[in-house]
Amino acid sequence: MEGASGDAETTPRPNKRRLVHNVVDPPEQFPSTSSSRSDVSSELESHRSGRLSPTKQLAALEDRKDPIVFYDFATTKARVPDDVQRLRVDVQSLSDGVGILGYTDRELASLTEANGNLEIGDRHRLSYPWVNNLEKRRKIGRTLSLSEVQGLTAAAISCEEGRSHEGTWNEEVHLVAIRAALASSARSEYLKAASAKTASIDPPSLASEALPKRVVDYAIVLVPDEIISRAWKKLQPLQGAGIKSWNHTTTNDLRTTPIASSIETKAPNKSWTDGKAQLAIWTAALHKRLFMLRKPGRGHLQIPAMPLLIAQGHDWHLLIVSREPQSCDEACCGTIIWQKIDIGSTRNCFDAYKLLAVLHKVADWAYTTWRPWFRELVGWLVA
């Protein structure tokens, strides 16, 4: 395969002749049920994964040589790794509303004065004594003003009431929240948001050929510094890819910027669980690519626990992925995705403040944990 080609993985489109009378027939590879007819509409869904239902997709992932499994944090089937637990505790605290504001006394007074413009639920919850923690909160980012947060929730409510499709939710709510969080993050100069909507896994050998190759919508990526930029000049393309990339895709937006966290989005009428298989396949392929970046002769590669995000209309969820060896064979490592923390929503201001605080925490993790780890991983190229 030469270069980046997403043709094999783009959303199936109905024959134009079938649209003349506003009748959309599902592609032949999908079951011809009434539910699948609505699913194939490009107005409602950005992509489908193939023949298997989400439940069967997850079962197939568990049956791989390098299994991918989803566990709840309270499971007795596996021990939660320490780095997963640390990230979970930090995120859970913010998602409970603890320290989500970083306002000075004057800013807090202004918020109190604006109570008349707040919905009664926000007015009550924003007065909790544990909500504001100026010193700790400002270490990860600037708290957005009330008017900025109200603008985000107003756009989301408009999408909900207008029954907007996923594309509109992405443009007016999801991407707006991601960009606002990164711009106000304490690490803003080191990170940026990138679109993965047209990305496919490349080379295809990084994904199991027996499974559908799904993509996600956005990624939080590292802005290359001197070490990463110098290492890029020494990097060689993977066999079958044609052009080089730090990641498991050769789409232009993601070639030179290492992925720190991936984000899948859904419209409100879609289940968040539909995005689980997509994130699993995508992240497992990224892990394989990272393994190939290690210095020749290096032993086991310990990849840090990585946060993943799913946005379903208003509601946002965070999962954490870890990679555990199943044997002495690195290729047989298993991927565990720990689920899930409800991190906030855009239904009201209080929950939007929670969401933005958690996104700041993800950005802080990308800078303090992922960036130094990746620099060490590729540093041998310029040593």
What span, in angstroms and rounded, lies between the C-alpha atoms of 288 and 132?
Answer: 41
Query: How is residue 107 written in tokens?
Result: 């800013």
Q: Please compute the mean of the pLDDT values over residues 173-179 and round it to a whole number.
A: 98
The pLDDT assigned to 207 comes to: 82
261 three-class SS: strand
The lowest-confidence range among 22-36, 43-57, 141-155, 287-301 is 22-36
pLDDT above 90 for 332: no
The pLDDT assigned to 267 comes to: 87
Peptide bond into 12 cis (omega under 30): no
What span, in angstroms and rounded, lies between the C-alpha atoms of 330 and 292?
Answer: 11
pLDDT above 50 for 194: yes
pLDDT above 90 for 146: yes
The pLDDT assigned to 24 comes to: 36
Determine how many CB atoms are found less than 10 A away from the CB of residue 34. Answer: 7
The pLDDT assigned to 355 comes to: 98
Of the candidates 211, 153, 159, 149, the one whose C-alpha atom is nearest the C-alpha of residue 181 is 149
Q: Please compute the mean of the pLDDT values over residues 354-370 and round it to a whole number.
A: 98
pLDDT: which is higher, 16 or 350:
350
Q: Please compute the mean of the pLDDT values over residues 225-232 and round it to a whole number.
A: 97
pLDDT: which is higher, 242 or 170:
170
Residue 195 has, within 13 A of its CA and on its CB side, a CA count of: 8
> Alpha helix (H) ranges present in 218-338?
226-234, 252-255, 274-292
* pLDDT, mean over the chain: 84
Q: Is the dihedral of CA 296, 302, 307, 310 positive or negative?
A: positive
Q: CB of 216 within 8 A of CB of 297?
A: no
Q: What is the pLDDT of residues 286-331, one digit of tens each?
A: 999 999 999 988 777 889 999 999 999 999 999 999 987 544 344 4
What span, in angstroms and rounded, lies between the C-alpha atoms of 211 and 214?
Answer: 9
Q: Please compute the mean of the pLDDT values over residues 183-205 and round it to a whole number.
A: 94
Highest mean pLDDT (candidates 6-20, 83-97, 195-209, 264-278): 83-97
Residue 198 CB-density burial (10 A; 0-12 exposed, 13-18 middle, 19+ buried): middle
**% of the chain surpassing 70 pLDDT:** 82
The pLDDT assigned to 333 comes to: 63
What span, in angstroms and rounded, lies between the C-alpha atoms of 252 and 149?
Answer: 32
Q: Please compute the mean of the pLDDT values over residues 334-363 and round it to a whole number.
A: 96
Of the candidates 324, 315, 371, 383, the one whose C-alpha atom is nearest the C-alpha of residue 344 is 315
What span, in angstroms and rounded, lies between the C-alpha atoms of 239 and 15?
Answer: 35
Which residues neighbour 19 within 8 Å (Cβ) at sequence distance 6 or greater?
none
